[in-house]
Amino acid sequence: MKQRVQVVPIDTIEPGERFRKEFGDLKGLAHDISEKGLITPIAVMEKEDGFLLLAGERRLRAMMENSATDIPVRIFPPGMSELQVRSIELSENVWRKDLEWHEHVSLTKQIHLLEQEIHGPKISTAPDAPGHSLRDTAELLNRSKSAVAEDIKLASAFEHAPEVFEACKTKKDAQKLLNKLEETTLLSELAKRTQEAPSETVKKRLMDSFIVRDCFEGMAEVPDSSISFVEIDPPYAIDLEKTKREYSYGETYNEVRSKDYPKFLRRLFTESYRCMAEHSWIIVWFAHEPWFETVYKLMREAGFTGSRMCGIWRKPAGQTQQPQYNLANCTEFFFYMRKGSPAIGLPGRINVFENPPVPSSQKTHPTERPIDLAKDILATFALEGQRVMVPCCGSGNTLIAAHQLGMTPLGFELTGQYKDSFILKVHKM
């Protein structure tokens, strides 16, 4: 398509309908042009009675702000189709840095669709085949095919649900969110198919032991004195997002505010005590600092008997956010207490449990503990055939451990996404 550059009267240019609606700081641009001149000509199409603006309305308006009478332009020949005109406007704007990320990806998509409307979709992969492909759009914009494909997918997602991306300041933020949404949706669909598919009755029963429900609502329906072992692994009320940075906690992790924590634990311990059999064990995981004494006193208030001598999970390696002040911590603690006078299943066992943690890349829950650790603890305090209750079951690993030891598990969790992961885990067993 032949073009020429020349200076034309500014009043001979017709703006027409434009993609850009916001023009930003026109006075600033006008001042810059008055000092340095118009570096890049605007694009116009020649008409019988003047010119139609193709690209550069912001520069045109800035020149008008300066009361300019003439303007340098790049002139395209007359007779261009509406689609060709639109494609030129979009192609220029896609590289403008002052566009919002969603405008940028939307432009990429529109250019691709316009070029396909002009040339038709390319069906054959032959180099000389007619039509326009994703690769052609990538070459037109001097970008990779995968980058263009990502932009088009992101643009479609934004068009479908713009409110979902309100908090995204950059395209990178939006892409991360979209990837997470796609992963969650896929996980949910896979879990649904797995649960609906024919499977062994035992696995189905284990899947059903994970109940997506507020733990207090669920426990209210558990009969008095019907549970032989309880594991409570509640939120720690220590702002884990800051203290454990290797894992993204996001919106699925249900933290409890520190000012509400004692009330939350008191209710949890009282309801657990009611559900537990006459002679039974309970273990409670907690943050040693600052909740050691609070958790101990609240358990005693609920009626449990036990000492401050904790059970300890020791990991092969430790971590600290301030190595210049603190030793690396490789331990987590739990109180083990009893209702009545139950005997330990493994008399004489030491209070240290040594197990490697679940690698961050394999976690389905931010505070997930390994199944082998849960099995060691269950084997110490519970017996085959007994009922195990986990009010805050998280990843569901204790439910799996109880099942593998011939016990009957029951767990409650607020977040359905964790159950989806649990169902897939059980399906692979």
Give 200-245 pLDDT, tens digit per residue: 678 888 999 999 999 999 999 999 999 999 999 988 876 544 444 3
7-11, 137-141, 280-284: least confidently modelled range: 137-141
What share of the chain has pLDDT > 90, as a percent? Answer: 35
CATH number at residue 282: 3.40.50.150
When mean pLDDT is compared across 60-64, 82-86, 104-108, 347-351, the lowest value belongs to 82-86
Share the mean pLDDT of the chain. 83
* pLDDT given for residue 382 in this prediction: 94
| Whole-Å CA distances, 221 to 213, 232, 416 | 12, 18, 20
Task: Please choose, from the candidates 30, 40, 81, 418, the residue with its C-alpha nearest in 3D space to the C-alpha of residue 250.
Answer: 418
Q: Does any domain span residue 177?
A: no
Integer Cα distance of 397 and 128 in angstroms? 57
pLDDT tens profile 372-399? 999 999 999 999 999 999 999 999 999 9
Of residues 149 and 21, the one with the higher pLDDT is 149
pLDDT digits (tens, 9 = 90+) for 33-59: 887 788 778 888 888 888 888 888 888
Q: What is the pLDDT of residue 249?
A: 35
CATH classification at residue 138: 3.90.1530.10
Helix (H, G, I), strand (E, B) or coil at 83: helix
Burial of residue 407 (CB within 10 Å: 0-12, 13-18, 19+) is buried
Three-state secondary structure call for residue 30: helix
Q: Is residue 25 very low, low, confident or very high in pLDDT (cuts 50, 70, 90)? A: low
Residue 113: which pLDDT band, with cuts at 50, 70 and 90? confident
Its domain, for residue 281, covers 200-427
Q: What is the DSSP letter of 245?
A: T
Asked whether residue 142 falls in the same domain as residue 204, the answer is: no
Range 320-336 average pLDDT: 90
How far is residue 368's CA from residue 391's CA, in Å, rounded to a whole number?
A: 15
Record the pTM. Answer: 0.57
Task: State whether 335 and 417 are in the same domain.
Answer: yes
Summarised one tens digit per residue, pLDDT across range 163-182 is 778 888 888 888 887 777 66
Read off the pLDDT band of 254 (50, 70, 90): low
The answer, yes or no, to whether residue 423 has pLDDT greater than 50, is: yes
Token pair recorded at residue 175: 């892409």
Beta carbons of 304 and 339 less than 8 angstroms apart:
yes
Top pLDDT among 241 and 68 is at 68
208 and 336, same domain (yes or no) = yes
Q: How far is CA 58 from the centre of its chain?
A: 38
Please report the pLDDT score of residue 360 as a whole number.
79
Structure tokens at 270: 């009282």
For residue 42, the model assigns a pLDDT of 84
Q: With CA atoms as reference, report the closest residue to 59 among 47, 48, 68, 50.
A: 68
Residue 194 covered by a domain: no
Q: How far does Cα 400 stand from its chain's mean position? A: 26
Same domain? 238 vs 96: no
Number of structural domains in the chain: 2
